[in-house]
Structure 1
Amino acid sequence: GKFCFFNTVREGDCVTYASEDDTDRQLWVQAIYRATGQTHKPVAPSQPAAQRISSTQMHKMAGEADKAKRAGLEEFLHADPCQCDHVALFRRLQLLTLDYRLNDPYTSLGWFSPGQVFVLDEYCARYGVRGCQRHVFYMEDLLNAADKGFMIDPTLIHYSFAFCASHVHGNRPDGIGTVLYDERVRFEDVKRRLKELLMRQITEFRYYFPFGRPEGALKGTLSLLERVLMKDIVTPVDADEVRKVVRSCLEEAARLNYSRIADFSNIEEIVQSDVPTEKKLESIVHLAEMCIEVLQQNEEHHSEAFAWFSDLLVEHAEIFWAKFAVDMLTVLENQPPDVWDSFPLFQLLNDYLRSDGEPCGDLKSCCTLLYSTLLY
């Protein structure tokens, strides 16, 4: 490389030249001076630039060097890149970046900022971190964050999952054909954990996606579940298998949703207590109002995401009402046969069943058997 430099300025543009030594630089300066007819002859500085640094600047530079030494950066600055475990270092860098991003005041859903992506891309390009390793580490960190309660965009996981699945099955998404044993093992573990997370989110869809937020997240979760259930990246998963998993989740969701509402209303405690029948009827009416509100919210905010499984959502509602009917029968059995105190409950359920477009056969049959004697 060159060791001596000089600058020329023309109409505001500054050009820096380099020469082998100081003598060569002086010859070039004199030649340019004669050729351009300068008024004043350029003179080289009398002392090196390093000696012209002020004492304040020297003290500041020394302080920064000491700070870097105390932080442990000096060891990394002088380390041989070939002797470093760049895969482990990259994973640490990516994890710390994700932790910082998730603690932003604005919800990121796990997405990196453009500047963070640039740094991670540059590290992978410089030190040869494989694409599958990068994405499988990313998914592991995202799943850990989801287990801690952070909301992660399913589309983001879908991108990384599709990349790793393509790589593991030999499609070379980044031009690398070899598949490491560690990559395959980690991918299978991530696939298992991801399936469990998705099933849990679908089961508790009212709590993971309240009022349909984030927008499109539930639909993306169902799409990702279908991708995870695929045996490879070519053969589509059987529709019956997807429906079986979704049906299982929605059946459990009906039981879970009702149990939480029942616990909130303390209906079990009230039914088993010695409170007056009027108090029990008020509690069951209040419980019915909450059940109706929950199912109306499901229809308003989540039915679009379950458009391909609308019949399963109907089954979900029927199981939900079947759980309610058990508590309702327990309360009404203790009611005298010749009173009309329970008629407001009948009117509430009848109005709902008439306005609701979905069939609830068990609830209708139950109401018909209970109130037919009173009505006729």
Structure 2
Amino acid sequence: MKRIQQARKQFFPQGIDGLLVASMANIRYLSGFASEERNVALLLLTQDKQYLITDYRFGEQAEEQCHSTTTDVVVRDRARESLGQLINRIASNENLKRLGFEQHHFMHGQWLALEQELTMETKPVADVIERLRRIKDSAEQNDIREAARIGDQALELLLPKLRPGVTEREAALMLESSLMQLGSEGLAFPTIFASGPRSARPHGMPSKRILQSGDLLTIDFGAVVNGYRSDMTRSFVIGRASAQQREVYALVQEAQQLGLDAVISGTTCSEPADIVSRFLCDSPYGRFAGDGLGHALGLETHEKPYFAAGDDTVLEPGFVMTVEPGIYIPGWGGVRIEDDVLVTASGIEVLNSFPKELIEL
């Protein structure tokens, strides 16, 4: 109920008396209804009520998941009533005059078709619910903390299986299987698993490439608990590390620690990014440094704000962010180290416990 009240407080500044929510993450945040599919529900929030609009495929699920005291589930008969007609009917009952809609979460064609049917004035709005989601309450923090713990444990189970002759896809599948067995609801995002020269691809998907002695290996993955996600990256060497591999790894590790030290409540998100960027740019590998330092994390893997130049969002206790500097050298390989951190009044809590020193497999 508190989240809904906070959302309604945004109506007056936005000049609206109702909000049509299309983001599935925002719908889950406000109502409890959860689906990984897009466009299976809308949430219509008014000054007095909240309506979860779906169809027969999700009606029973919505009744089960939605907060019954705050959300009315409306199962639309698609053969007899269009979406626009249904919204008009609710708007008339609620005396809505100006309806806000999440401009970044409707497909352009979808909104144009819906808008033609609506009889009330509409206004595009952005990040109304996302701003509320920035500060995680204790339950949300615990879910992310547990997702991070599952990730730590799954990676620990994988390491003994990483050896020359195993393909990237085989290894990624073993990691994902462990995540599920340990209690993850799914994958926070498609697992990034890249070895050898392919590790220079920041988002390299698992391939048929066979792990070889001397390879750099980057693994970026996450677990999901009650919809909340973790996001961790570790880099390894198959066999003995070369001098250059050790040098690049040490540089990234130092950069990551600088970033962690700079995450302080009351500073802007651009400050840690600027500190790490200056450090890496002054190194011999500066031109290979990745842009930005990290992002917020929660019901979605990539949330606002970002640790990036120009982001003046002020960090507050309850923010959960990633800190993930990297060096990516085309044709040679790359290194990235990433942790999830909770901003507190006195500093940060690093939610990952997996070691960060260079591990030779």
Question: TM-score category by the smaller chain?
Answer: under 0.3
TM-score normalised over the length of structure 2:
0.21
Larger Rg: 1
Q: Which structure's residues are more often strand, by fraction? A: 2
Select the structure with the greater relative contact order (CA < 8 A; seq sep ≥ 6).
2
TM-score normalised over the length of structure 1:
0.21
